Structure 1
Amino acid sequence: MPFNGAGPQGSASVSVHAKLLDLLGRSIVRGELQPGDPLPNADDWSAAHGVSRTALREVIKVLAGKGMVEARPKTGTRIRARTDWNFLDPDILAWRYGPKTTFEEAQSLFELRRAIEPSAGAIAAQRATKEQIATLEKIYEKMERFADDNERFAEADLEFHQSILHMTGNELFGSLASLTATAMLISFKLSDDNPYGQRPSLPLHWGVYEAIAQRDPEAARSRLIELLDLAEEDVNRSLAARKARGR
């Protein structure tokens, strides 16, 4: 499906742009292209993937904005050192985690969530409005209804955690919603074969709700940590099972 970079972009062209960005981004994150390596020849990539040079240039601009590539006179566009990458970028997070995720990478993901969510819960317990607390209870009830439907439970679970960020009343925390959403979606994918299902997490989610409703910051903080500990155990269990199947 060729893409003409000129003129307005329809959904098809946007899709091709996204696919090319995903393909090139994953290649860099997986180490198929190493720091210091030049990007593939533009003409070759354009021909191989049926896109225009204009589309490829736009993808490179996006990657440059994430700190992954840089263009220099005479040397062209090259991969930057990993220390220059914005690892909090949702795309880079998504590219980093997949079927070959290691225990160490999963640990990094949960360290990030622990640095954000328990503090947000504590602040939410102090600042949330009655209306926000009522909404959180309704979201929990949705999670309870869909406890045996992984996909719909994941949607409600994501809504629960993102609501807590917004309940802080702090716009900076609110801006982290897309970051934690990506982290949570990765967690769900890594533990999608959890034999225990979603029900074991319900009492802990209810505990978080109760702590916020009762205006107890420390309880909200500790219960969110417990919840994240359980989620990490589920992910590690799934990773261990995948590793055993791969032997």
Structure 2
Amino acid sequence: MIEAGSLIRSLSGRPAARNFHTFVINEIGLGIVTGKFPVGSILASDAVMMESYGVSRTVLREALKTLEAKGLVEARPKVGTRVSPTSRWSLFDPQVLSWHYYAKPDRRFYESLFDVRRALETRAAALAAQRRTAENIRVMKYWLHQMDSAGGDLENHGIAALEIHRAVADTSGNAILRSVTGIVELTLALALRQVGKTGAEAYLQASLETLTALVTAIGDSDSAGAGMIVEQVIDLDEACVVAALS
């Protein structure tokens, strides 16, 4: 499992693995997503990987089972462990998504991310406006305050923004819509990475203003307004990510 927000917290560098099992999953999974281990290739033998990663056979096998459950590899007797086609990858899995942060920029993939985010988040925002409670709005306003207090720190701003998106998804009351969190975090991290290179002040201010408007619309039970405003939030992140491709 990957903790929500861990990708944004790693903007200053790749996160350290918590244990050997996590380490092996990250190394192989990242290698697959970034193309170090190409689709269709056969991974090294157990003996070679055990030596390379410094782990026992048990740890290696458990890691490979986890990667197989995510659709990244397939183990076959007398053949070995083959890297699966991308069509089989579990792209709603937050960990699989997080590895794409380190992959070569891919316009078509980025467009797909924003297509899905737009479809799910606009619906989540509309439902949140219908179902919100005073406590839901209190939580969102708390994170707005954290954004406002971030003082230009990209990671703190990003974590607070992500928490608002998570709160909106939770408030929607639709468990399926909550699955958008991993996509939100990846696209948000990609946007923050870009503005960190080009100047973040205008983005951070626009992000705070649009999310404040979103929380206000949800608090006012304005479903149509909430849906329109979340589109603006997404457009802001997409513009930053697309700028990185030019």
TM-score normalised by structure 2 residue count: 0.83
Q: Tell me, yes or no, if the aligned pair for 1:90 and 1:178 is still in contact at 8 Å.
A: yes
Structure 1, gaps ≥5 residues long: 1-11, 241-247
Alignment of 1:1-247 (within 5 A): 14-98=18-102, 100-178=104-182, 180-197=184-201, 198-240=204-246
Instruction: Tell me, in whole angstroms, the C-alpha distance in 2 between the residues paired with 1:179 and 1:235.
Output: 13
TM-score normalised by structure 1 residue count: 0.83
Q: Which has the higher contact order (CA 8 A, sep 6+)?
A: 2
Query: Runs of 4 or more off by more than 6 Å in structure 1?
Result: none
Q: Tell me, yes or no, if the aligned pair for 1:165 and 1:173 is still in contact at 8 Å.
A: yes
Superposition RMSD on alpha carbons, in Å?
A: 2.2
Instruction: Tell me, in whole angstroms, the C-alpha distance in 2 between the residues paired with 1:143 and 1:35.
Output: 40
Q: Tell me, yes or no, if the aligned pair for 1:20 and 1:59 is still in contact at 8 Å.
A: yes
Aligned to 2:5: none
Q: How many residues align?
A: 229
1:57 shift after superposition: 0.7
Give, as a single letter, the amino acid of the residue that structure 1 aligns with 2:178. Answer: G
Instruction: Tell me, in whole angstroms, the C-alpha distance in 1 between the residues paired with 2:132 and 2:102.
Output: 35
Instruction: Tell me, in whole angstroms, the C-alpha distance in 1 between the residues paired with 2:182 and 2:91.
Output: 13
Give, as a single letter, the amino acid of the residue that structure 2 aligns with 1:210. Answer: T
Instruction: Tell me, in whole angstroms, the C-alpha distance in 2 between the residues paired with 1:162 and 1:220.
Output: 15
Q: Percent identity?
A: 32
Instruction: Tell me, in whole angstroms, the C-alpha distance in 1 between the residues paired with 2:95 and 2:153.
Output: 27
Cα–Cα, structure 1 residues 159 and 131, in superposed 2: closer, same or farther, change >3 Å?
A: same
Q: Tell me, yes or no, if the aligned pair for 1:117 and 1:224 is still in contact at 8 Å.
A: yes
Q: Tell me, yes or no, if the aligned pair for 1:39 and 1:78 is still in contact at 8 Å.
A: yes
